[in-house]
Amino acid sequence: MSATRYTYLGPAGTFTEAALRTLPEAATRELVPMASVPAVLDAVRVGEAAGAFVPVENSVEGAVTATNDELAAGTPLMIYREVLLPIAFALLVRPGTTLADIKTVTSHPVAQPQVRRWSSAHLPDARWEAAASNADGARLVQEGRFDGAFAGEFAAPLYGLDVLVSEIHDAANATTRFVLVGRPGRVSSPTGSDKTSMVVWLPEDHPGALLELLQEFAVRGINLMRIESRPTGGGLGNYCFLIDCEGHLSERRVSEALMGLKRICPKVRFLGSYPRADEGEQSSPRAGTSDEDFSEAADWLSRCLDGRGEL
Amino acid sequence: MSATRYTYLGPAGTFTEAALRTLPEAATRELVPMASVPAVLDAVRVGEAAGAFVPVENSVEGAVTATNDELAAGTPLMIYREVLLPIAFALLVRPGTTLADIKTVTSHPVAQPQVRRWSSAHLPDARWEAAASNADGARLVQEGRFDGAFAGEFAAPLYGLDVLVSEIHDAANATTRFVLVGRPGRVSSPTGSDKTSMVVWLPEDHPGALLELLQEFAVRGINLMRIESRPTGGGLGNYCFLIDCEGHLSERRVSEALMGLKRICPKVRFLGSYPRADEGEQSSPRAGTSDEDFSEAADWLSRCLDGRGEL
Amino acid sequence: MSATRYTYLGPAGTFTEAALRTLPEAATRELVPMASVPAVLDAVRVGEAAGAFVPVENSVEGAVTATNDELAAGTPLMIYREVLLPIAFALLVRPGTTLADIKTVTSHPVAQPQVRRWSSAHLPDARWEAAASNADGARLVQEGRFDGAFAGEFAAPLYGLDVLVSEIHDAANATTRFVLVGRPGRVSSPTGSDKTSMVVWLPEDHPGALLELLQEFAVRGINLMRIESRPTGGGLGNYCFLIDCEGHLSERRVSEALMGLKRICPKVRFLGSYPRADEGEQSSPRAGTSDEDFSEAADWLSRCLDGRGEL
Amino acid sequence: MSATRYTYLGPAGTFTEAALRTLPEAATRELVPMASVPAVLDAVRVGEAAGAFVPVENSVEGAVTATNDELAAGTPLMIYREVLLPIAFALLVRPGTTLADIKTVTSHPVAQPQVRRWSSAHLPDARWEAAASNADGARLVQEGRFDGAFAGEFAAPLYGLDVLVSEIHDAANATTRFVLVGRPGRVSSPTGSDKTSMVVWLPEDHPGALLELLQEFAVRGINLMRIESRPTGGGLGNYCFLIDCEGHLSERRVSEALMGLKRICPKVRFLGSYPRADEGEQSSPRAGTSDEDFSEAADWLSRCLDGRGEL
C-alpha cells in the first residue's frame, strides 16, 4: 500500500539507499528503487508512494539538475526531510583480487572525478568505464566484466565482493545532500533549527531583481544557505533560482521575507520547511528578527494606531 | 474651553496665523497666540488647548529646531494636519513713506536672508535690525522706531500700515511648512494621499544603521519626503532622525516598514499619519507594494502553511 | 600547426560544429572534433590548438557543467567570442522510412527533453534510447540499429539520411550558447556592446557576501546577464559563482567593479571581455557610469586634492 | 598682516575662543573676534585673515546652521582642523553674591537648555533673559544689570567676576565641535586618523538617491560620522547633505567613494580632509578597503588586461 512505500533513486546498494536508511522511519517502510529521478518523484505524484528520496546536490559535482528541475516544474511537491551523507568510496573486487590484478575499473560517471586522484596514484594503468550506477558497477564486477568497482562499502555483501580499499575520496568533506519529498501538506512544526526551500522566478526586463530578492532576506537578517540558478525555458538570460534559507516558514522573519518575494516576483514556489541536517551550526536569529521582536513590533503598531505608541 | 482652543506661534499677524487660517476648522476655534514653540505645544500637553499650530520647516532656512526637538522629546504629541504656505514678504510702511525715505528696516532674523537680495538692490543704504517677529517689526514701524518692516502683507491693516512693495522673496518657491499638533489619539482614516512622520533613534556603535533604516523603506518601495538629523543629547555622533515618508500607517507597506524600524532601532516615536498638503504629487505605490498585493501574499502564505501554495 | 587548429566538442555534425562554422575565421582553421569538454580545452592548454569551441549553457537544459568547471579550475583560459545558436531538431531517417515505420529513435540525452512533447504526439509508441551524441545517433540510424535520430538537420548528408521532419523543439526560443576559448592573452578592444565573464569565490563564513558582491555591480549601474553557482569542492554550502555582466574590462565602471570583487573575495578569475552575440540589446550605461563620467570625476578629485575642487 | 590673523566667532571669553586656544598655532596668531559666523568666514574669503574658527555642531543643540550654510554656499572654503570642547558652564557673579541673592540670570539662548535642569533645582525663582553671547552676559553682570551669568569659567577674570558654581551641564558629555577654516588649498597629508567633510546635493525627482549615496560609502566600508540635511533653497523636499566620513581623501576607498558621489549627484563640494580630534576611536579600515588592497586590485586588473590575471 502506498502509505508505507518510499521510492528512491536506485538501484539498491547505492549511496541513495544508504542515506535513506539513516531515516528512522525507513525501517517501517517498503523501500522501492526506481530508475530515474522523474520516475521516483512521479510515483509520489500519482499516489503510488508516500515519499520519494532523491539526491539534490553534491559538494563536488554540484546540483543534481534532474531533481532541481522536477521540484521547480510540474505537479508541486514538498520537501519534508534532508539527509547529508559523507561520500567515501570503496574499491570492491572479487575475493582474491589484488591491486596488481586490476586492469579495468568501473563506476557511475559522477564518482569518477571523486576518485581520479587516488586512481592516478594507485591504479595508473587501469582503464575506467562508465556504469549505470555504482551498484551496477559492483554487479558487473561480480559478473567478471570488470576487475574492480568504485562504490559504497555497503554494496560489497550485496554482490559477494570484498572491500579491497576503503575511504577513497579525493576531496575531503565530500558530501551528498538528499531530500525526502512528498505531496504538499501541512508544514510540520519548527524544531528550532530549520531550513526553508523555494523556487523564485525573477521578473523579466528588471536587471536589478536578483539584488532586490536578496535584500528581502538581508533586511530581515536571514542567511541564505544555497542559491542555484536554472533556466526557465523561456530563452537565454531567463532564470529561476532554487534557494534554501535558514529558518522555518512559521517564523515571522521567514514568512515576511517570502511574502516580500511573492510581491515582487511573478512566481514563487514554496518547497517546504524542514529540520536542518547539519546539526550544531544553527545560529540564533540576528537581533531584532526573532518572533518575539516581531510580536512586540506588531503590538507597538496597534498601539500607535490608537495613539498609544509610547506605552 | 480647551476643546475649541488652538494655540499658535504668535504674535498675531505672522505667517503662522495666516497659515492656520487656511484650515477650515480654524474659523470655529479660539486662536490663541503664544510666545514660543514650547509654550504653544505645552498648552496642548496640559490640556489647555485642543490643537497647537507651529512651523516645522522652511524651504530656505531649514528645520525649525525648536519644533523638531519638542516633537522628539517630552510628553508625546501627534501631527494631524500639515499646511504649506508660500512665503512672500511685503515692505510695510507708515502711510506716505516712499522708498527714498527708508533709512532703517526691521524683520525677524529668519526673514532677513529671504529679502537680502531685494534689499541690496532697492534699499542699498538702509540699516537692518532684528525684531522679535515679523509682526512685532510692523508694530515697531507703527511706533516710528523703524521706517519699514518686512512682514506678511496681511499684517498691514493690524498695524495701520501701507504695503509699499509686495511679493518680495529672493528664492522662488519659498515655502514654510506648518503642522497642527494634538495629544496622541486614534489615527484618522487614510485619504489616498497621506504622509507619515516619525522620529527614529539609531542604535549606537552600529555605523551601518542609517543605511539599514533606509532599506526598510526602500525594500517596500516607500519614498522618503524628508530626513533631518538631530543630536540625541548623548554626545557628538549620536543622532536621531525625523523622517517623513509617503503613505499612511494603515497601509501595509508603511506599517511593515515601521515595524521593521521598531525592531532594529532602540526607539521609534510615531508622530502621525495625515493628509499631504502638496496635492497632485501623489504617486501610486510601486508595483508589488499595494495593500492588495500584501493581502494576496498573506493569503498565499496561509495556503503554503497548509500545503496549498500553488492554488 | 596549432595556430590554425580549433578543437571543438565533437563529433562532426553536431550543433557545436554548426555553431563554430558561424564564425568567419572558422573557414580558415583546421576544425578538430574531440570527445569531451576537458579534451577540447586541454588541447588549447598544452598548445596543440589555438582555440577551443564548447557549449556553455542551454536555455532549456541549463549550464554545461563540464565547461563551467573547466573554466573555473585548472590552467587558466580566456573567452574570446560567444555564439548563440537556436536549437531545432530534425528527425533523420534512412531514405524511404515513414513515420509509421518508426519503432525506435535515438539522440543525445540532452536532446530528449527538448523533443519529448513532439514525440508523445507523433511517435507515441516509439522507444527511445541514448546515443553518445546526436551525430552518433545519426550514424546508428545509418547502420540500421535505430529507425530514426533526432539531430541537427545539417547531419543528414553526413550520414546519407533524409530529413523526415524539421524544426522540432518543444520550447520556443531554445538556444545554446557556445564560447571560443583560448590561452590567456591581451584583452581585445571594446566594440561598444561587450560582455565580461568571471568566476568569483565567496569568502567563507560571511553569509552576506553574495549581496555585497552584487552591490559592487549595482552601485556602478552594471547589469548582470548570468549568474551560476558551482560547488567549490570544499564542502556543502561553499560556492563559487560564474558571472557574466554587461560591459568591457576596459570600461571604468567594469574595471572598478572587478577590482571591488577582487578586494572582498578570496579569489576572482577573469574569463575575458568579448563582443555580445545578442545584437540589438545593448543599453547605454546608466547615467553617471560612462567612461566620460569617470574621467570627469577623476579630474575633479585631482583638483580637490589641490584645493581647486570647485573649478 | 593677514597670514598671521585668525578670526573667530566672538566676543572674547566665549567657548569658541577657549577652543581656538587649544590649537598650538593659536599662540603665534593674532586672534580677532567677530560678531557673526558670516563675518568670521568672509574675513578669510577676502584675504584679511588666514584662518577662521567657528562652531559647527553641538551635541545638545545640534548643527550650527549659519556655519553649515556658509560652508555649503558662496565662495568655497576648506576645513583644516577640528576641535572638540567639552561644554560646562559656570555661574559667574560679582564678588560677594550668594545663590540666595540671585534674582536674575542671563546667558546666550543656546546655553539655556543646557542649564535648565540645574536652574530649576537651584535657582527656581530666578528670571532668565537672553544675552548676545555668554561673554556678553558676563559683561552685563559686571555692569550690574543681572545677578548671574552662565558662561565659561574662563570668562570670569575678563570681567572681574567670581565663579560661584562650576561644572554645570544638564547633559553629560555636552560637547561642541569647532572647525578651523581657510581658503581652499592643497590637502595636507593623512595622519592615519582622519575625517573627510563634504556637501552633497541629491538629484531631484530621484527618491532613492539618498540610499544610493549611502551605498557609495557602504560598499567601500566607510563609516559616516555625521549627516545633516539642509534645504537647497529650491523648494520644500529639496535637500543637500553635509556629510563627515572617516578617512582621508588620499585614501583610495575615500577618493573612489567621492568620485562615485560626483558621478551620481549634480553637485558635490569637498570641504577637506583633516585630523580627527576624537583620538583613540580610529578603527582600521574594513578588510579589503585599505590602500594596499586597492593597489593589489589595480595591479591584478592590469595583469588581467594583459592576460596574466592569475599571476
Between helix C252-264 and helix D291-305 the angle, nearest 10°, is 120
Question: Which chain A residues are Cβ-neighbours of C210 within 8 angstroms?
Answer: 214, 224, 227
pLDDT band for position D283 (cuts 50, 70, 90)? low
Do D208 and B218 lie within an 8 Å CB cutoff? yes
pLDDT tens, residue by residue, A60-101: 778 888 899 999 988 999 999 999 999 899 999 999 999 999
**Do D195 and D299 lie in a common domain?**
yes
Residue D224's closest chain B neighbor by CA?
A: B207
Chain D residue numbers touching B224 (CB-CB < 8 A): 207, 210
Coil, strand or helix at C301: helix
**Which of D76, D255, D293 minimises the CB distance to C301?**
D255
DSSP secondary structure letters along A277-295: SSTT-PPPPPTT-SHHHHH
d(CA C112, CA C106): 9
Which residues in chain C are closer than 8 Å to D202, comparing Cβ atoms?
A: none
Give the range with max mean pLDDT: A206-210, B47-51, C235-239, D237-241. Answer: B47-51
Give the Cα separation of A91 and A106 in Å (integer).
Answer: 10
The answer to whether residues A198 and A180 belong to one domain is no
Q: Read off the pLDDT band of C172 (50, 70, 90).
A: confident
On whether any CB of chain D is under 8 Å from the CB of B273, the answer is no
State the pLDDT at residue C229.
87
In a domain? residue B309: no
Which of A139, A168, A197 terminates a domain? The answer is: A168
pLDDT at res. B279: 66
Q: In chain A, what residues touch C243 (CB-CB under 8 Å)?
A: none
Check if the beta carbon of residue A170 is closer than 8 Å to that of residue A116. yes
CA–CA gap between residue A40 and residue A33 (Å, rounded) = 8
pLDDT (average), residues A217-246: 88
Q: Identify whether residues C36 and C178 lie together within a single domain.
A: yes
Is residue C282 over pLDDT 60? Answer: no
Q: What is the Cα–Cα distance from D239 to D234, expressed in whole angstroms?
A: 8
> Could you tell me if B31 and B49 lie in one domain?
yes
For D23, the 3-state DSSP assignment is coil
Q: Tell me the residue range of the domain where B112 lies.
A: 89-168
Please tell me if residue B281 touches chain D, with a CB cutoff of 8 Å: no
pLDDT in the model for residue C225 = 87
Specify whether B44 is located in the same domain as B68. Answer: yes
In the predicted structure, residue A282 carries a pLDDT above the cut 80:
no
- A136 φ, ψ (degrees, to nearest 5): -65, -35
Q: Do B197 and B279 belong together in one domain?
A: yes
Neighbouring C-alpha atoms within 13 Å toward the C-beta of D155:
34
Query: Between the CA of residue B295 and those of A254, A266, C144, what are the distances in Å?
Result: 17, 16, 62
Consecutive H or E run containing C139: helix C134-142
Res A280: pLDDT: 55
SS3 B292: helix
Same domain membership, residue A243 and residue A126: no
Q: Contact, A288 vs B263, CB < 8 A?
A: yes
For A3-50, how does the pLDDT look when each residue is reduced to its tens digit (9 = 90+)?
899 999 988 888 999 999 999 999 999 999 998 899 999 999 999 999
Does residue D241 surpass a pLDDT of 70? Answer: yes
**Residue B299 clears pLDDT 80, i.e. is over it:** yes
Q: Does B212 touch chain A (CB under 8 A)?
A: yes
Both C208 and C275 in one domain: the answer is yes
Report the alpha-carbon angle C79-C84-C86, nearest 5: 155
Q: Which residue has the higher pLDDT, B45 or B283?
A: B45
Question: If pLDDT is split at 50, 70 and 90, which confidence band does D246 have?
Answer: very high
The CA-based angle B265-A214-B292, given to 5 degrees, is: 80
* pLDDT mean over B156-184: 91
Contact B17, B40 (CB under 8 A): no
Decide if B104 is inside a domain: yes
pLDDT tens digits, C12-65: 888 999 999 999 999 999 999 998 899 999 999 999 999 999 999 988 778 888
- Here the CATH number for the domain that contains residue D203 is 3.30.70.260
| C62/A60 CB distance under 8 A | no
Return the CATH number at B15.
3.40.190.10
Shortest Cα distance from C121 to chain D (angstroms)? 51
Same domain, D194 and D139: no
Domain boundary among D185, D220, D253: D185
* Pair D113, D215 in one domain: no
Which H helix or E strand runs over A254? helix A252-264
What are the cell numbers at B229?
538629523
Number of residues assigned to chain D: 311
* pLDDT surpasses 60 at C281: no
Same domain, A80 and A114: no
The reported pLDDT for the residue numbered D279 is 66
Residue B181 sits in the same domain as residue B191: no
What's the gap in Å between the CA of D276 and the closest CA on chain B?
13
Q: What's the domain count of chain D?
A: 3
Domain boundary among C136, C154, C185: C185
CB contact under 8 A, D304 and C250: no
Question: What was the pLDDT predicted at B113?
Answer: 79
Q: To the nearest whole percent, how much of chain D has pLDDT over 70?
A: 98
End-to-end CA distance of chain A: 59
With an 8 Å Cβ cutoff, is D109 touching chain B? no
- Interface ipTM: 0.89
Helices (H), chain B: 15-20, 37-45, 65-72, 112-122, 134-142, 209-218, 252-264, 291-305
Q: Is A66 in CB contact (< 8 Å) with chain C?
A: no
Residue C11, preceding peptide bond in cis (omega within 30° of 0): yes
| pLDDT value for B281 | 56
| Residue ranges of E strands in D87-161 | 89-93, 104-107, 127-130, 148-151
Phi, psi of B70, rounded to the nearest 5 degrees: -65, -35
Average pLDDT over residues B51-67: 89
**Nine cell digits for residue D293:** 588592497
Give the sign of the dihedral formed by CA A7, CA A12, CA A14, CA A18.
positive
* C206/D contact by beta carbon, under 8 A: no
The per-residue pLDDT of chain B, averaged, comes to: 91
Among A218, A256, A305, beta carbon nearest to B187: A305
Give the residue on B whose Cα is nearest the Cα of A296. Answer: B263
Over the stretch A116-163, which tens digit does the pLDDT of each residue have?
889 999 999 999 988 878 888 999 999 999 999 999 999 999 999 999
List the chains bordering chain B where 3 or more Cβ pairs fall under 8 Å.
A, D
Dump pLDDT digits (tens) for D182-193.
999 999 899 999
B209 contact A CB<8A: no
* Angstrom distance (rounded) from CA B253 to CA C147: 61
